[in-house]
Each structure stands twice: as C-alpha cells, then as structure tokens.
Homo-oligomer: A and B are copies of this chain.
C-alpha cells in the first residue's frame, strides 16, 4: 500500500470519507447542547430522542446504544450475538476481519472470524451455505454463530435486498444471528432506494452498526438492536467497554441532527452522486478502467503508473497499489464538491492525454 503526499500543492484528499469534517447543523446541535445541565449516561432528552427517531425510521421499536467509533459498534454487536466458542462468518475483505486489530476477538472473549470470499466484497452464498454447516455440534470446532455483512461493502458495492435475504435465510436456517456493519448504511439506503427497515430487520438482520461519523457526524455511531432480547446484555457490555459516555448528550445531539430532516440521507445521496460523477468521468477517459459498478461513495479504478504519479505530484492523496498494482481508490463524502470531482477528472484527462 502507499499513501503519498507532496508538500508542493494543497492536498485534495480522496483517501476516505473519514477525512471530512462535520455537517454544519450537526456542529450547531452540539453547540446548542453545551448549555445548561442534563442527566448523564444517556438519561438526557437527546438520547431518548435518538431512540424515538430510530424507532420511527425503522418502523418498529428498537434499542439503541451510542458509541464513539464504528469498531466499537461492530465489536459490541458481535459480542452480543456470538458466544466465545462461536464463529463469525464474514467476507475476507471486511473491516472487522482486517482493520480492527482484533476488536471482535477481544470483545467476544475469543470467538473466531471465518473469512469467506465473493465478488465485489460480497459474501458468496454458496460458500456461506457450506460454512454454516461446518462441524456443527462438534465440540472440537468453533460453532457458526453469526453472519456479518457490510452494507455498503468495503469495495463500494451494495447488496441488493434479494442478496441480503438469500444470505440471512441461509444463516437463520442454521440458527445463526445476523449483524450488519453499516458504517456506510445511509449510502446503501439511498443507493437501493429502499427503506431502512427493508434493508435490516425485515431482511433478517438482528443488530446494526449504524454509521454516522463518516457521513457528517463528528464522533458518534449507533448500535441498533432489533433483537430486543439481547438489549440488556448489550447495555452491560457497552458500559464495561468504556462506551457509556457521561455527557452522552453530546453524542446524542449529533445523531438527532443527523437524522433530522433526512440529513443523513441527503449527505449520503450527495456523496454517492459525487462518486457516480467521478465514475462516469473516468469511464469516458481513455486508458482508465473503473472497476466494478460503484454503487455508493467509493470508486475503484485501474490507473497507469504515470497517471498515479502525476496526480500525486499535483497534491492529490488517495490509496493506490494497496490491492493490485495500479488499483486505485477514490472515496467521496458529503463534503466533496462538484468542483473537486471535476478538477480531479480534468487532471486525470490531462495526464491521460
């Protein structure tokens, strides 16, 4: 992998959606929360409001825990769903498998992540079907306990509702639970044009890591538990993981503003559009191949070395050569502007010409 920067030009970065700041209304909400006193540890009005808003959005009562990172959301969900002798079936490219330094193993007290392959960072149902029945009831082996799917995926693809249903049906037939890593949940919702309910509990999901940080919030993500039998357990795990913030209202205020007036969907729609604009531009550039069909806010493409080097020299930053040689990733966010995309495209075209 390589993430290069040059000092000559002002960096315009497409490394990830986590480099963006925060939506103005979210900052305003946080500022407004700073005055007066409020009960601590989630007994404040904003935290209660988050639960109500999400129950409305998901069209059923849900349990909600606010956390400071997506890793915490994932690890807590997995620990609640998976016994220590269980396994979590996930894609080999998944964030939980690669990028959390063993947080799921830590929180679950030593469960095993079983990586599976599949195109576009989506789990192949045929593989899943084999895996869910592997050594079931055999004490010598960890037991398939939880399916974890990432929506939108780490590669920028989005599972269709049918694809989700197919995977969760396999899991549930094997008495397994289902977790969705929704670090980019909003991007997937607007991409599919479906309801949040359709993409989660109506499709067999028990627990959701609902990302907000990458999509306009500052330091807040949310655990949404559809399976309320585990809600108590999740609350104790949340506390003992050091995630129960005393001034929870500052995290809740972010989420309230995030959900208000569909800001979360508007932000995601914008990010997706920027990615789509970039992908279309790239597809019209000779010598440049967009990989897959970008469906969220991530664009993978294949660039020749001189083009990569040219962009770096102009101050652009992005991940490249981390997967295959020449494979390059651009990530857009709610804060990406049309001008930035067009500027990037124009640079690429000039370098490609």
Contacts and interface: CB of A to CB of B under 8 A. Distances in A.
Interface of A: 11, 13, 15-16, 18-22, 24, 26-27, 30-31, 33-41, 67-76, 83-85, 98-103, 105-113, 139-143, 213-214, 218-219, 233, 235-247, 250-251, 335
A252 B173 CA distance: 37
B37 A19 contact: yes
B85 A250 contact: no
Contacts of A35: 21
19 contacts: A16-B40, A19-B40, A21-B34, A21-B36, A22-B247, A67-B242, A68-B243, A69-B244, A72-B243, A74-B242, A84-B106, A84-B237, A99-B140, A103-B239, A106-B109, A139-B244, A140-B239, A213-B247, A242-B243
Contact of A140 (B21, B26, B100): B100
A27 B31 CA distance: 6
B69 A242 contact: yes
Contacts of A20: 37
Given A140-B100, A218-B30, A70 B246 contact: yes
Given A103-B240, A106-B110, 12 more contacts: A18-B246, A41-B140, A68-B69, A69-B245, A72-B243, A75-B242, A83-B233, A85-B101, A100-B240, A103-B239, A214-B246, A218-B247
A117 to B, nearest CB: 14
A27 B140 CA distance: 28
A320 to B, nearest CB: 17
Given A21-B35, A69-B246, A243-B72, A102 B106 contact: no
Contacts of A235: 139
A36 to B, nearest CB: 6
Contacts of A84: 102, 105-106, 109, 237, 240
Contacts of A26: 34
Contacts of A83: 233, 236
A244 B85 contact: no
B218 A141 contact: no
B18 A247 contact: yes
A139 B106 CA distance: 15
A142 B101 contact: yes
A219 B46 CA distance: 15
Contacts of A102: 84-85, 110-112, 142, 240
Nearest to A250: B218
Contacts of A143: 236
A15 B30 CA distance: 22
B31 A18 contact: no
A91 to B, nearest CB: 16
Contacts of A236: 83, 85, 101, 139, 143
Contacts of A38: 19, 21
Contacts of A240: 71, 84-85, 100-103, 106, 110
Nearest to A105: B110
A232 B19 CA distance: 24
A106 B83 CA distance: 11
A6 to B, nearest CB: 15
Contacts of A139: 41, 101, 235-236, 238-239, 244
Contact of A34 (B22, B74, B99, B113): B22
